[in-house]
Structure 1
Amino acid sequence: MAGALSLLPTGHAVPRTAAKVGPGVWERQVNTGVSLHFSFEFANPKSFAGSITHRAVGELGLFGVACLRHTVHRRPDDLSLAADASFLLTLQLAGTKQLTQDGRATTLRAGEFALYDSEQPLTLDVSDDYRSVNVRFRKAAVGAHDAAAFTHLVARKFSAEHGIAPVVWSAVLGLGSLAPAHQPAGILLAGNVLDMTATMLRAHAGLTGPAEPDDRLRRRQAVLACIDQRLPDPDLRVETIAAACFVSVRHLHALFRDSGHTVAGWIRHRRVEACKRDLADPAARGVPVAAIGARWGFGDPSHFGQVFKAVTGLTPAEFRRRALA
């Protein structure tokens, strides 16, 4: 497996080394980067080291991890803090990881991948010299029919060498390495990568027929990609999104009717998530809080602070201090 795996272009998608970091900081970095809440156990907290890269591209959340031995849980209390219901695919690049979910346990080695579900309790036991690349996508993005089938795949081991898996994972790693200047094109590519990922999982689930057509879902995905591309625009409005997507304002609202968000609420959600990632990024430590808010469309610092605190319970400055402590 290692020979085939070495052909995958990791680029900057996955850290090559782990940096020494306190357990509390690691917990905040992972929870922010993955946009899910996990609990952690460390055998050697004083010597723990870990590095994580993360970015959102269209419908996909991509994150790479390099770290030392520890255990990660999603306990019932963690599930109550979830955002959107999601699946996560994890590909092992080095070291091992035992994944336990839904009454099953499997150990992944380099060149193997597995699926897990954000809505079920989970335990991940990772080894020293661990490296992985991971993909998060919302269940709503693949439709209810496929999501129900994929649930039965959790904690099962698959080879990254067989079927279309090498193509899918090469595309994932390439997308994770895409330069920020190519973000608009990346949003479109992310939709294609999501389609490829769903096709791969459908094959493993034994779904041999064509995917169920869902024009409404496809239209909403296009709208979500359009919103992500335009998040930095402080003048982003429902009307401008509708015009850019060639739909009426009424139809745009209808597309979000069963999503759990209004259009404006989704824009705020995506902006706050982007700000959380930047505030927790050590490389952006010197960037003023107001500048990070402005980067993601919050033109008024006071309004940014109010919205951020309403969502997270912390001011942006408080969130940054905790994330970087």
Structure 2
Amino acid sequence: MSVLENLFDSQDLPVSDRVEAWHDITASALIPNEFSIDRAAEFRASLQAVDLGGAQVTALTYASMTSRRTPQLIRQSDPEMYAVGLILRGEQVILQDRCEAPLGVGDLVVYSTSHPYQAVVEAPQGTAASVVVQIPRAMVPLSSNRVDRMLAARMSGREGVGGLLAGFLTHLATDTSLYRPADGQRLGGVLIDLITAWLAHHIDASDQTPAETRQHMQFLEIQDFIRRHLGDVELSPATVAAAHHISLRTLHRLFGSHAHGATIAFYIRRQRLTRARRDLADPRLSARPVHAIAARWGFLRPADFTRAFRTQYGITPSDYRYQIDDFETGTQN
């Protein structure tokens, strides 16, 4: 299965049916809301969703509009969930509990289905886009009173824990790879841990976060650090441990618990080889020598790179590049 399932596209419906259909699909996939749409005849929207072990992930595009969750709707049905939103395109404003969050691309926000709110979307040049995660409050091991103080507050998704969360959500929204059903539970666990760590970071409540969640978060931060430093020839288990102020023993234990048996040295080598193989297959880099691509990803000795590449992929880097070139030439012909 792919991560997200296509549930709605306004272009599949007659213009006269689009707004009502949007109201119905958002009530089902998200939460019931009231909508005000000025130019209904021009309304465009799409919705993709998946349930990841209790975390409902929805990727949406939509034209300018205003949505409201009213006290009456809350009385009719309240699943008691937090909603975390990431803005991918356009501008929005979330208002809840006398707070107002003006949001742009890359911003994160949390709001509650148990409190009235209003969302105003401005997309004058087309459609806005966002990813929304809904998780039951009971799945967030933090004080609800403290989390509620963060409702409708603009938070950055460009750095730190917020950057990790935003990157994960963006990947879920854009990835077209196929996954096994069992992967959904694992992805859901990662997502809930990320959201918990992100909330705890902003309310300074890391002491309330379960130890397993903190360890998983540290593992994700280390993975992110490694990916950002693959070209550094000094990158090694020792430098990774030093950068995160932990011992080598703790680092190896962390990978043993969270990397499905892979060692950190294997992970670094595999990531470097993956990046190098991608560059070898890139026609824009066809004039770049193999040894230069190897050096870009931390392999200073061409012989070491060739040996590692052949061991991993069963072919030398040069033969792999020729194979890709022959395939591209045949396709064009």
TM range (shorter): 0.5 to 0.7
Aligned CA distance change for structure 1 residues 153 and 18 (closer, same or farther; 3 Å): farther
Q: Secondary structure at the match of 2:132?
A: strand
Q: Show the counterpart of 1:52.
A: 47
Q: Deviations over 1:99-139 (max 9, x none)?
A: 00000112100011111100000000011221001111000
Q: Is the 8 A contact 1:14 1:131 kept in 2?
A: no
SS of the counterpart of 1:164? helix
Give the secondary-structure state (helix, strand or coil) at the position aligned to 1:202: helix
**CA–CA distance in structure 1, aligned partners of residues 122 and 155 of structure 2:** 19
Measure, in 2, the Cα distance between the counterparts of 1:13 and 1:96.
25
Consecutive unaligned residues of structure 1, counting only runs of 5 or more, are: 1-10, 215-325
Corresponding residue for 1:283? Answer: none
Work out the CA distance in 2 between the residues paired with 1:171 and 1:193: 8
- 1:27 is aligned to 23
User: Match of 1:126?
Assistant: 121
**Structure 2 counterpart of 1:149:** 146
Letter in 1 for 2:36: E
CA distance in 2, matches of 1:169, 1:109: 13
Q: Would the aligned equivalents of 2:33 and 2:67 in 1 still touch at CA under 8 Å?
A: yes
CA 1:172–1:182: 2 relative to 1, 3 Å: farther
Matches of 2:202 and 2:65, distance apart in 1: 30
The secondary structure found in structure 2 opposite 1:55 is strand
* Alignment RMSD (CA, Å): 2.8
TM-score w.r.t. structure 2 length? Answer: 0.56
Is this contact kept in 1: 2:4–2:50, CA < 8 A?
no
Show the 5 A alignment for 1:96-107. 96-107=91-102
Deviations 1:211-261 (A, max 9, x none): 2689xxxxxxxxxxxxxxxxxxxxxxxxxxxxxxxxxxxxxxxxxxxxxxx
Deviation at 1:12, TM superposition (A): 6.0
List per-residue Cα deviations over 1:157-191 (Å, max 9, x = no partner). 01101211121222234345475642212202211
- Give the aligned partner of residue 68 of structure 2: 73
Matching residue within 86, 93, 103 for 1:91: 86
Whether the 8 Å contact between 1:146 and 1:202 is mirrored in structure 2 is no
Please identify, of 164-173 and 191-200, the stretch whose mean Cα deviation from structure 2 is larger.
164-173
- Count matched residues: 203
- Structure 1 13/146 Cα, relative in aligned 2: closer, same or farther at 3 Å? farther
Instruction: Find the counterpart in structure 1 of residue 180 from structure 2.
Output: 182
Identity across matched positions, percent = 16
- Work out the CA distance in 2 between the residues paired with 1:162 and 1:14: 30
Amino acid in the other structure paired with 1:27: H
Counterparts of residues 140-219 of structure 1 (less than 5 Å)? 140-143=138-141, 145-175=142-172, 177=175, 181-211=179-209
Q: 1:178 touches 1:186 (CA, 8 Å); kept in 2?
A: no
1:63 is aligned to 2:55 = no
- Larger RCO: 1 or 2 (CA < 8 Å, sep 6+): 1
Give 1 or 2 for the bigger CA radius of gyration. 2
Distance 1:84 1:132 in 2: 22
- 1:116 is matched with 111
Q: What's the secondary structure of 1:174's corresponding residue?
A: helix
Tell me how far apart the structure 1 counterparts of residues 178 and 144 of structure 2 sit (CA, whole Å). Answer: 30
Give 3-state SS (helix, strand or coil) of 2:38's partner.
coil
1:119 and 1:212 map into 2 onto residues whose CA distance is: 25
Distance 1:169 1:182, change over 3 A: farther
> Conserved in 1, the CA contact under 8 Å of 2:5 and 2:50?
no
**Which residue matches 1:37?**
32
Q: Secondary structure at the match of 1:91?
A: strand
